[in-house]
Structure 1
């Protein structure tokens, strides 16, 4: 879609004061999908040259905000870590064409903050940490689970930039289980639940997205039984937290979340406690 209110496109490498009507441009798959009458200038990040995915010395993984879905998928296929299958599962949850895969970015998906954003699901489940840069150059870090605070709402200041997301080494060595459901065969995710079992201390995390207005990452020092899992989900996710749109009513999303979470608990709990 033409953005007929945009008067200028600026290279992000050239420093200039941030002004009302500015927006960061990465892949642009959302920006150009619908009218943006409030925009006057785009600041293009594609020239920054950030490496899409980096394996760090401590075993953690840094994903740049400009990493495309296609690049992340390729990384997941060649990554030998136990968590590798989860990358492809979340990429496939986009249900998008190859054209979108080659343009849409991890950072764009996070900064849209939509409940069904699968990059939010992936990075929140793996306890990812966002690196944010303000207009004055100062940096701050925030967990992905805290970065998205509502449907389309983020903890992001005016002109603040998401630089990267870092996944800790412990998460990369974990066992995972993935469940996703939609009302339609090729529909947007109505509920997406990911379980992560830490091989070092035996702890279990269960992350709920798509069904809720924001990510909910629940951590258990030891895997719970079925009742304990359900009680924790009920206590953490209030009635107002279930998302309501054409892709699923709150009651259905809640039911499917509880069902998928229990399937994940059984898959990852070796003793099969029920």
Structure 2
């Protein structure tokens, strides 16, 4: 979609360029930005000009740049989580054309309940690296980065720089994935993932909730009963989503404990 109100486009070459003027918006992949009218937007600031690496292996973490596309992220060294990465990438009804352009950071910052990278990063215990306007940085677990439907923990002037996926310590050896939608190729109504590392089993719920929820697989029933953010929209009623999430979560637990 053409953004008829946009009259300027400037590349960001450094952190100083990230200070937005009135009417400016940050541009990464732009798959959502250009999908509907943005009448309040008069200028765009291109984050891809910053030249952030798609991904890099740092001590103890795999760091994915916020401007890394979904397509390029699939080539990162995920180890045992490789299949889970592909499953999550495909769960948001993204064609290969969209995956070629949509970015990790854009998916997280949009904060949709069915955000594919939100599901993945919350499952893997990833941490969002946020640039603050004073030149510093802060870190927020992805499970806490998305605080509601369309709402993230970003404050005014902040920019998501990267996502760190932990590689140190006890590594998960098994993953499980379940999804349900109202139509065969529809957006996820409930998405449940799980990971097992030694005796620890965690279950992550997204799409059916307004924010990611991580549960202890060994106390699953109590965790499901405590969820207070079931989501209701055209892709599924809250009570139905709560029911099918319970079914999928128990399937995930059984697979990981088998």
Query: What range describes the TM-score normalised by the shorter chain of this pair?
Result: over 0.9
User: Contact 2:172 / 2:195 at 8 angstroms: preserved in 1?
Assistant: no
Q: CA deviation at 1:80?
A: 6.2
State TM-score, norm by structure 1: 0.89
* Residue number in structure 1 paired with 2:241: 253
| Alpha-carbon distance in 2 for matches of 1:149, 1:35 | 25
Q: Is the 8 A contact 1:127 1:171 kept in 2?
A: no
- Report the equivalent of 2:200: 203
Residues 85 and 120, structure 2, Cα contact 8 Å, conserved in 1: yes
For the Cα contact (< 8 Å) 1:12–1:44, is it kept in 2? yes
Ranges in structure 1 where 5+ consecutive residues have no aligned partner: none
Counterparts of 1:12 and 1:129 in 2: how far apart (Å)?
A: 24
The total of aligned residue pairs comes to: 255
Task: Spell out, residue by residue over 1:30-67, the C-alpha distance to the aligned partner (whole angstroms, 9 max, x if none).
Answer: 00000111112211011121111222232x21111011
Correspondence for 2:4: 4
Provide Cα deviations, 1:233-267, integer angstroms capped at 9, x if missing partner.
112x12xx111111111111111100000001101
Counterparts of 2:90 and 2:252 in 1: how far apart (Å)? Answer: 19
Give the 3 Å change call, closer, same or farther, for CA 174–21 of structure 1 in structure 2: farther
8 A contact 1:9–1:42 mirrored in 2: yes
Moved more, 251-260 or 16-25: 16-25
Are the aligned partners of 2:56 and 2:63 in contact in 1 as well (CA < 8 Å)?
yes
Tell me the TM-score normalised to structure 2 length. Answer: 0.94
Q: Secondary structure at the match of 1:244?
A: coil
* Residues 1:80 and 1:209: Cα distance change in structure 2 (over 3 Å): closer
Counterpart of 2:223 (choices 212, 229, 232) is 232
Structure 2 residue runs of 5 or longer lacking an equivalent are none
Deviations 1:69-120 (A, max 9, x none): 1111233xxx362222111111111322222111000100000000010100
Partner SS state of residue 5, structure 2: coil
C-alpha deviations, 1:158-197, integer Å up to 9, x for none?
2211010001114754321111111100100000011111
Cα root mean square deviation, aligned: 1.5
Query: Which of 16, 19, 40 is residue 42 of structure 2 equivalent to?
Result: 40
SS of 1:82's equivalent in the other structure is helix
Question: Is contact 1:132-1:139 (8 Å) kept?
Answer: yes
Residue of structure 2 equivalent to 1:13 = 13
Measured after TM superposition, the shift of residue 4 of structure 1 is: 1.5
